């Protein structure tokens, strides 16, 4: 399948304009906040979750495949990058790219193995995968350091450590690349088949679209971003632990952000991440575990009353 753009030029679309405005707004956002590094840190994590949510939306909202492999891919990305950087001394940036490719490879392989499974069974298999990854990270403490994790190099040199603003811009660059390539992908014939697969898998197969390839490749693409994000996270903190692969914190946040923002919409997951992560920060002060309970309730309420998420309230942005 050759990937070709469809429907006019990209710049002709009002959505792309909105997207660029959004990115510029995010770029100047830290300026008034630069005195508070706490707020900048929150924004960095918003960006991290925005990448996660967008890649989840790509699989589920567009492709119709319910996958819980996210945390597993994050774990693989983060740890592989840390291993590479710690053993070879290569710069973390190289680690990030390798982590992305390795996660993509894992995604392709997992997608290939799980091909015959559909719906809930596919979801369970991916969930199992994520669980196994986390177990391995905890149990193989000779290699992974177990629960105490491993220290690693920071992404940026020491002179840039004084303020998190630099990390914010690295994250924003990642988000921009992720968002723009995803946008371009969705607005190609590939995106068309992906949406069609999400709508009716059998019919798209009968049209002669290679469903196998479509499923495997979208899994690989999404995993690439997860590997990259996982590695970014590790070198942002200079430390990695099995918490990166924790389902109850990370996956619940991803699901909530995507569904509250708007599943199957382009801007929904981005918006969701920027609303829900700060909310989680506030809730956290009231005690551990409350966040998950509240988020699960929020997911249920959104599914019942806000089927298209917050973005669904703005008609011109709702359509994918």
> Count residues contacting another protein (CB under 8 A)?
23
Question: Please, what sign has the CA dihedral across residues 257, 260, 261, 263?
Answer: positive
Region near another protein per CB under 8 A, out of 10-18, 85-93, 200-208, 226-234: 200-208
CA dihedral angle for residue 27, residue 316, residue 195, residue 220, rounded to 10 degrees: 10
Query: Which CA distances in Å does 164 have to 180, 208, 278?
Result: 24, 50, 17
- The two three-digit tokens of residue 245, written as one number: 């692969």
CA nearest to 97, candidates 227, 223, 218:
227
Residues 255-274 binding another protein (CB under 8 A) are: 264
Closest separation in Å from C-beta 6 to another protein: 7
**Binding of another protein at residue 200 (CB under 8 A)?**
yes
**Binding of another protein at residue 5 (CB under 8 A)?**
no
Closest separation in Å from C-beta 11 to another protein: 21
DSSP-derived 3-state class of residue 308: coil
**Binding of another protein at residue 209 (CB under 8 A)?**
yes
Q: What is the distance between the alpha carbons of residues 128 and 130, in angstroms, rounded to a whole number? A: 5
Closest separation in Å from C-beta 205 to another protein: 6
108 touches 216 (CB < 8 A): yes
Closest separation in Å from C-beta 199 to another protein: 4
DSSP-derived 3-state class of residue 188: strand
**Binding of another protein at residue 192 (CB under 8 A)?**
yes
**Binding of another protein at residue 307 (CB under 8 A)?**
no
Which uninterrupted H or E stretch holds 255? helix 252-261
One symbol per residue from 143 to 182: x for binding another protein (CB under 8 A), - otherwise; what is it? ----------------------------------------
Binding residues for another protein (CB under 8 A): 1-2, 4, 6, 189, 192-193, 195-196, 198-200, 202-210, 212, 264
């Amino acid at each position: 399948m050759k990937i070709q753009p469809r429907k006019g030029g990209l710049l002709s679309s009002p959505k792309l304009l909105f997207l660029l405005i959004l990115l510029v707004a995010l770029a100047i956002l830290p300026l008034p906040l630069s005195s508070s590094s706490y707020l900048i840190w929150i924004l960095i994590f918003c960006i991290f979750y925005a990448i996660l949510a967008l890649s989840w939306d790509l699989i589920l909202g567009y492709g119709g495949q319910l996958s819980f492999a996210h945390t597993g891919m994050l774990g693989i990305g983060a740890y592989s990058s840390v291993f590479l950087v710690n053993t070879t001394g290569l710069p973390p940036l190289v680690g990030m790219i390798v982590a992305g490719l390795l996660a993509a490879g894992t995604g392709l392989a997992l997608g290939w193995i799980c091909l015959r499974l559909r719906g809930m069974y596919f979801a369970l298999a991916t969930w199992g995968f994520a669980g196994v990854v986390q177990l391995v990270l905890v149990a193989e403490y000779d290699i992974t350091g177990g629960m105490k994790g491993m220290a690693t190099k920071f992404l940026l040199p020491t002179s840039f450590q004084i303020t998190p603003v630099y990390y914010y811009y690295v994250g924003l660059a990642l988000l921009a690349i992720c968002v723009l390539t995803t946008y371009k992908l969705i607005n190609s014939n590939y995106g068309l088949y992906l949406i069609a697969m999400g709508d009716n898998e059998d019919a798209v197969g009968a049209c002669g679209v290679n469903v196998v390839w479509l499923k495997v490749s979208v899994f690989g693409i999404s995993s690439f971003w997860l590997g990259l994000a996982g590695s970014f996270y590790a070198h942002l903190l200079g430390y990695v632990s099995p918490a990166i692969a924790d389902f109850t914190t990370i996956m619940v946040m991803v699901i909530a952000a995507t569904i509250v923002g708007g599943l199957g919409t382009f801007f929904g997951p981005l918006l969701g991440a920027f609303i829900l992560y700060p909310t989680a920060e506030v809730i956290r002060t009231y005690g551990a575990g409350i966040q998950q309970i509240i988020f699960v309730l929020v997911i249920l309420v959104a599914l019942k009353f806000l089927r298209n998420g917050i973005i669904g309230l703005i008609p011109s942005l709702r359509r994918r």
